[in-house]
Amino acid sequence: MNGFAEGRETVDHIPLERLIGSTIKIDVTARAAGNPDYLVAIADFESWEQRNGKIPDDSIVLLQTGWSQYWNDKLKYLGTDKRGPEAVAELHFPGLAPDAARWLTTSRKIKAIGLDTASIDYGQSQMFESHRVLMGQGIPAFENVSNLEKLPEKVSMVAALPMKIRGGSGGPLRIVAFVQKPGM
């Protein structure tokens, strides 16, 4: 059982074809800068589509908030340097707005989604709605993805392979992008 979606696939049962494929990157770094509670919105996806066309079916979507630059500074990355239950109320980092998660699952056909923060839901989330919406539709979410600033808006191939933890709702992930160099 998946912790965010009763009766859905656990990490060891996610089909490989959902973890490998063409990818788009939505860069919201400028909008998230200085706003640790930024929610990636439907408008961010629509803005990308105005420049690039509709998000292709069966894409893996990566969200670049710019937050990975703070990875080595726990206070900046998470909004607190506390640990344990008392830290939860002080977490601050961007995430995916629940209405944008619903829009992706009803208006677009994506394989998976990832971002460069500690959770697909923003730090102050109490209900983990984006997790529930995505997992309820069998869409895996990749968290703490690094080096997104090195990727173009469209990537021909990404492989995101989580550790196969039997019955797990998540696990460590190795994600690799294959980028065509210009002129090749």
Residue 6 domain-assigned (yes or no):
no
Q: What is the pLDDT of residues 124-178, one digit of tens each?
A: 999 999 999 999 999 999 999 999 999 999 988 999 998 888 888 778 899 999 8
**The domain spanning residue 140 has which CATH number?**
3.50.30.50
Strand bridging mode 59-64 / 110-115: parallel
- Label residue 2 by pLDDT band (50, 70, 90): very low
| Number of structural domains found in the chain | 1
**The domain containing residue 132 runs over which residues?**
11-178
C-alpha neighbours within 13 Å on the C-beta side of residue 147: 8
Mind listing the pLDDT tens digit for each residue in 55-72? 999 999 999 999 999 999
- Tell me if 163 is assigned to some domain: yes
Q: Is 146 a member of any domain?
A: yes
Q: How far apart are CA 141 and CA 114, in angstroms?
A: 5
The rounded percent of the chain whose pLDDT value lies above 90 is 77
Q: Is residue 3 part of a domain?
A: no
Report the alpha-carbon distance of residue 15 to residue 8 in Å, rounded. Answer: 12
Examine residue 87 and state whether it is found in any structural domain, yes or no: yes
